[in-house]
Amino acid sequence: MTTIKTTPFEGQKPGTSGLRKKTKVFMQAHFLENFVQATFDAVGGVHDKTLVLGGDGRYFGKQAAQTILRMAAANGAQRVIVGQGAWLSTPAASNLIRTRQTNGGIILSASHNPGGVDEDFGVKYNAENGGPAPERITNAIFEITKTISEYKILECEAPDLAETGETMLGDMVVEVIDPVVAYADMMEDIFDFDALRSLFANGFRMRMDSMCAITGPYAVEIFENRLRAPRGTVSHEVPLEDFGGMHPDPNPTWAHELMAELMGENAPDFGAASDGDGDRNMILGPHTYVSPSDSLAVIAANAKLVPAYQSGLKGVARSMPTSAAVDRVAESLGLDCFETPTGWKFFGNLMDAGRVSLCGEESFGTGSDHVREKDGLWAVLMWLNIIAGRGQGVAEIMSDHFKRFGRNYYSRHDYEALPIEQAEAMLGDLRGRLKDLPGMVVEDLMVANADEFSYTDPVDQSVAEGQGFRILFTGGSRVVLRLSGTGTEGATLRIYLERYVPGPDGLTEDPQDALAPIIRATEEIVGVKARTGRIGPDVIT
């Protein structure tokens, strides 16, 4: 074992999903090592502990895994369970941490950010409940990175991770496992696989776009092997180090091939995509796009059709910027509904305490208490099970839902790579004007209330402040503004727009049209285009 002297690095606070940086930054001498040692130290060391390790297959992932194995061994870990080829989707890693009762795990991914030597890499630590590290751990990691002076590593070759089985690395067991089997088995326990097999046997056509990222092997095993959907149902099914140049972010902009297929002639009955590390999902029907907020609401309303949720949900939760569509379902079903800050870690406490079983975010994230991360393929299977149970297609399910609950027209506008100072000044200025906004009339809208969201965790009473600006208009429309915590270039401003229209009529308008007055009012109040000189958002979802 060698102890290598090092210098503190210009760390950044790990955000809601660990540390994300350009790959070349992680590849600098000692950078990855410093961050990993800081992580080990922040959790009280890894002596005698068991960890899970794997990632989304992106460039540098396997090399990073080998370095981490050598460090874990030098730090006295007892065992590391690692996916073959260093592959594990985020939800599969969460499942392994839980079912193998390990002390935690390290996931190598920058999620939906592009991969490759000139793109992004990321490292995140998940705690023993299988969920993203809570703030107390990420804060400790950050503090340690500022003073770290050495790290421990074994000077030896690490296993190549090509074959499953156990080998020794120093005194530590390296257990290489098939990354897919345990996850696919869990899905078989949750869903009615017989009903889904009949769906496919009766000619139901699906397209699953894995976007050259980690869900490919999982999707092939689940949909094609176990559910016997035709070969070729899963496209871009081989994980590639640069995701084949794709941007594995399942939204209409980046999953444009899938969009074109589902919006075109001879569209299949169902379409879905997932992101780099497999925790996000997008749901489509022929000529139908399901917004993530609506997807959460539909899943909540129909969960009882799925065996694992037959006896009902414990409660539901959504992040604050997510639309209130699920709130209406919760109200009608008599369920508790929690509103949390952005980021999956806030759901963990609620799930651990047995208060909620279903959670979702507007950013294409949906999941349940089967793991402690959002889960892309789980959401796709929820939809398939609901389609099979109701005997309806996606468009019919949506229109029935809107008739019953009304529709929360919703859209998110992202302005990417803004100069950080400019973005911060704009929101700082808004913060100063919040108290003057109520009563202001713009367009035909009057501001009813404006504040900055702060959250007190109902389980441990911890407080998270500064979680986004909310401007509420009379009549229930609203706009939320916040800066991204996961971008790696400049600042990304996210503007979340929402307007509720009760059913049963008038619910087929294009969301951008339905939201046009709120979009104009936001520009008048905040002046995003005026202050940034941009002509419009970079990404609209």
List active site positions.
111
- Residue 273 gets which letter from DSSP? E
Q: Which does 285 bind (CB under 5 to 8 A by kind): Co ion, ligand VG1, none?
A: none
What is the smallest separation between the CB atom of 374 and ligand VG1, expressed in angstroms? 7
For residue 361, the cross-strand partners are 365
Q: Which does 415 bind (CB under 5 to 8 A by kind): Co ion, ligand VG1, none?
A: none
Q: Which does 393 bind (CB under 5 to 8 A by kind): Co ion, ligand VG1, none?
A: none
Can you count the helices (H) and strands (E) in the chain? 18, 27
The rounded distance, in Å, linking the Cα atoms of 21 and 9 is: 13
Query: Binder to Co ion among 119, 209, 249, 275 (CB under 5 A)?
Result: 275
What is the smallest separation between the CB atom of 99 and ligand VG1, expressed in angstroms? 21
Q: What would the x/- binding string for Co ion be over residues 93 to 112, using CB under 5 A?
A: ------------------x-
- Our finding on whether 373 is near Co ion (CB under 5 A) is no
Task: Pull the structure tokens for residue 411.
Answer: 């859209």
What is the smallest separation between the CB atom of 464 and ligand VG1, expressed in angstroms? 13
Task: Pull the structure tokens for residue 34.
Answer: 């410093």
Residues at the site binding ligand VG1, with contacts judged by CB under 6 A: 16-17, 111-112, 275, 279-280, 319, 342-344, 361, 363, 365, 484-487, 494
What is the smallest separation between the CB atom of 192 and ligand VG1, expressed in angstroms? 27
Query: Binder to Co ion among 41, 56, 277, 294 (CB under 5 A)?
Result: 277
Cβ of 133: how many Cβ atoms within 10 Å?
24
Query: What number of CA atoms fall less than 13 Å from residue 390's CA on the CB side?
Result: 20
Q: Could you tell me whether strands 441-442 and 445-452 are parallel, antiparallel, or unpaired per DSSP bridges?
A: antiparallel
Closer by beta carbon to ligand VG1, 280 or else 478:
280
What is the smallest separation between the CB atom of 20 and ligand VG1, expressed in angstroms? 8
Number of residues that bind Co ion (CB under 5 A): 5
Closer by beta carbon to Co ion, 66 or else 340:
340
Q: Cβ distance 124 to 249 under 8 Å?
A: no
Cβ neighbours for 213, distance < 8 A, ≥ 6 positions apart: 56, 57, 58, 236, 239, 243, 246, 248, 274, 275, 276, 277, 278
Taken as a whole, the chain contains a residue count of 541
What is the smallest separation between the CB atom of 484 and ligand VG1, expressed in angstroms? 3
Q: Cβ distance 111 to 280 under 8 Å?
A: yes
- Our finding on whether 361 is near Co ion (CB under 5 A) is no
* Closest residue to Co ion using C-beta atoms: 111
Q: Which does 486 bind (CB under 5 to 8 A by kind): Co ion, ligand VG1, none?
A: ligand VG1
The rounded distance, in Å, linking the Cα atoms of 407 and 400 is: 11
What is the smallest separation between the CB atom of 348 and Co ion, expressed in angstroms? 16
Closer by beta carbon to ligand VG1, 131 or else 286:
131
The rounded distance, in Å, linking the Cα atoms of 415 and 405 is: 31
Burial of 463 (0-12, 13-18, 19+ CB in 10 A): exposed
Closer by beta carbon to ligand VG1, 355 or else 494:
494
Q: Which residues in the 457-476 window bind Co ion by CB under 5 A? A: none
Q: Which does 498 bind (CB under 5 to 8 A by kind): Co ion, ligand VG1, none?
A: none
Closer by beta carbon to ligand VG1, 41 or else 373:
373
- Our finding on whether 249 is near Co ion (CB under 5 A) is no
Q: Does 134 sit behind a cis peptide bond, omega within 30 degrees of 0 on the bond before it?
A: no
What is the smallest separation between the CB atom of 277 and ligand VG1, expressed in angstroms? 6
The rounded distance, in Å, linking the Cα atoms of 484 and 404 is: 34
The rounded distance, in Å, linking the Cα atoms of 210 and 57 is: 13
Task: Pull the structure tokens for residue 157.
Answer: 């070759």
Closer by beta carbon to ligand VG1, 436 or else 489:
489
Q: Cβ distance 375 to 275 under 8 Å?
A: no
Orientation angle between helical segments 376-390 and 193-201, nearest 10 degrees:
70
Q: Could you tell me whether strands 172-177 and 79-87 are parallel, antiparallel, or unpaired per DSSP bridges?
A: parallel
Q: Which does 363 bind (CB under 5 to 8 A by kind): Co ion, ligand VG1, none?
A: ligand VG1
Closer by beta carbon to ligand VG1, 179 or else 286:
179
Burial of 136 (0-12, 13-18, 19+ CB in 10 A): exposed
Q: What would the x/- binding string for Co ion be over residues 278 to 307, using CB under 5 A?
A: -xx---------------------------
Closer by beta carbon to ligand VG1, 16 or else 210:
16
Q: Which does 221 bind (CB under 5 to 8 A by kind): Co ion, ligand VG1, none?
A: none
Q: Which does 16 bind (CB under 5 to 8 A by kind): ligand VG1, Co ion, none?
A: ligand VG1
Chain residues that interact with Co ion, rule: CB under 5 A: 111, 275, 277, 279-280
